[in-house]
């Protein structure tokens, strides 16, 4: 993989992480749950995104 393709993958992950954080903040979950999910997404960008997708709070 060249620098261009890995940069593109990083940009896609960043956009998806921002999308996930916005969806977490719009959900009807408690404040503590929102903070938990945002921290997980920020600390573990790819794994946190996958965990949120399958187990995270849904939009209300």
pLDDT score, position 3: 65
- DSSP 8-class letter at 59: B
**Average predicted confidence (pLDDT) for the chain:** 90
Q: At what angle do helices 45-55 and 3-26 cross, to 10 degrees?
A: 40
Q: pLDDT band for position 2 (50/70/90)?
A: low
User: How far is CA 5 from each of CA 11, 17, 44, rounded to the nearest angstrom?
Assistant: 10, 18, 21
Question: What does residue 59 show for φ and ψ, rounded to 5 degrees?
Answer: -65, 145
Q: What share of the chain in percent tops pLDDT 90?
A: 78
- Residue-level pLDDT at 4: 76
């Amino acid at each position: 993989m060249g620098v261009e393709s890995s940069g593109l993958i990083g940009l896609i992950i960043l956009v998806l992480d921002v999308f996930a954080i916005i969806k977490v903040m719009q959900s009807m979950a408690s404040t503590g749950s929102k903070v938990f999910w945002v921290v997980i997404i920020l600390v573990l960008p790819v794994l946190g995104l996958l965990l949120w997708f399958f187990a995270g709070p849904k939009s209300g």
